[in-house]
Structure 1
Amino acid sequence: DTPRDLPGRIPSPKAIISVREWAKKCHEAEHEEAAWGEEVHHRLLEAVLRNSGAEKGQQFDFTSCQTARPHQRWLPQSARANMIDKCIYYDTSEDTGYAQALRELSRHAPTLTVNHTDFAALQLQIMVVGIEVKKRGGRPDAKLQ
């Protein structure tokens, strides 16, 4: 795959500098995970997946979903379900060909969605990447789920 084949875009230098400055502010102020998620990770995802000033993203978009957690059925027995703070999803809202199949799939899934979580806002949108923001050792890390 070439970069043109991948979803999203390479952020502008101005956007990258802005994300870096917000990360620096959060680090220096020792902000909690929620602030990192909104001030840094949100801006980075927006720079990659959304056009400036757009009301919605492209075919792949992202959202905050702090109340989402992976369903126990989809986790290894030794793992515990952590919260998913943000996620990237495939926006199926304009693709009517998928609608009926996704509804049918969600009716038979333990989460009643097409995803590994029961987060209702994305019931029929396909979650591609779940991101958990964790602050370990004084340093925030984004953890994929």
Structure 2
Amino acid sequence: QLIAKAEAAFSLLAAVMLLVAMLGMGASLLSSMRERERELALLRVLGARPWLIAGLVLLEALLAASLALALALLSLSGLLLIFKDALLAEAGLRMSAQWIRSDEIPLILAVYACAFLVSLLPAWRAYRISLQQGLMDR
């Protein structure tokens, strides 16, 4: 029962961390869209359609999520390889450094879904940028 409570606490902590990370990514994307208005307008001048620019923003968010997931999985595997003997000796926990378990796939998909949802507002703003607004001198 103690392990179940600890697992629930860690799950809650992971959910809060995901929320904070997604809010940070959304703020970062919004900020970068403001900074790149001129570049986005130039892409429009060169013939890029608004949906293509919005797609690039969505792709940027999904690539950032992919990089974060890869780093997290590599870190987890490395730490488990290093500390699995100590965990067994001290706490009696037998841990395997399996790359991705089947029960983690829904969590990974949830991270991608959150990244997609968070990037919708910046993508919409990039979609709506007007040429005049983006090319004005500031």
TM-score past 0.5 threshold: no
Q: Which structure's residues are more often helix, by fraction?
A: 2
TM score, norm. by length of structure 2 = 0.30
TM score, norm. by length of structure 1 = 0.29
